[in-house]
Amino acid sequence: MNAHEILYIDPGTGSVFYQVILSGILTALVFFKRIKDFFRPSPKSFEEEDNTETT
């Protein structure tokens, strides 16, 4: 943090602390999204399926 930031607004000790937890929550969210995406057919494969049906 530079001097400006400290002088201008108070980020709040509790809020800065919570961002560490939030970072963990975001990691978990991204992880679950990747698992979900892994089991869900990608839009590309839908297109491929469409192409196969038309040809």
Partner 1 sequence: MIERQSLSYKDPAGFVVKKDDGFHRYITQSYACEYDHFIKSGLYQLLVDSRLMIAHKELNLPASQDHLFYKEIFPAQVISITYPFEWAFTQWKEMILTYIAINEAALKYGMILKDATPYNFVFYDGKCMLLDTLSFNFYKKGSPWIAYRQFCEEILAPLSVMRYKGPAMGKLGITFLNGLPLSFVSRELPFRSWFNTNCLLHIHLHAKFQKAGNKERVTNTGITTQKLASLFQIIKNDISGWKPPSSNNSDWKNYYGTGIENEKYLSDKLTTVSNWLQKIGPKKTIDLGANTGKFSFVASQFSQQVIAIEKDPWCADAIYQSARKNDLKNILLVIADITSPSPGLGWENEEKVALLKRVNGDLLMALALVHHLCITKNIPFSLIAKLFSQLTSQYLIVEFVPKSDPKVIEMLRNREDIFSDYQESSFIKWFEKYFELLEVHSCTCSERKLFLWKTK
Closest CA to 5 of 14, 19, 16, 18: 16
Q: CA dihedral defined by 36, 42, 45, 47, rounded to 10 degrees?
A: 140
Q: Does 35 bind partner 1 (CB under 8 A)?
A: no
- Residue number with CB closer to partner 1 (16 or 45): 16
CB 49, min distance to partner 1, A: 27
Distance CA 16, CA 46 (A): 43
Residue count at the site for partner 1 (CB under 8 A)?
26
Q: List residues near partner 1 by CB under 8 A.
A: 1-2, 4-5, 7-23, 25-27, 29-30
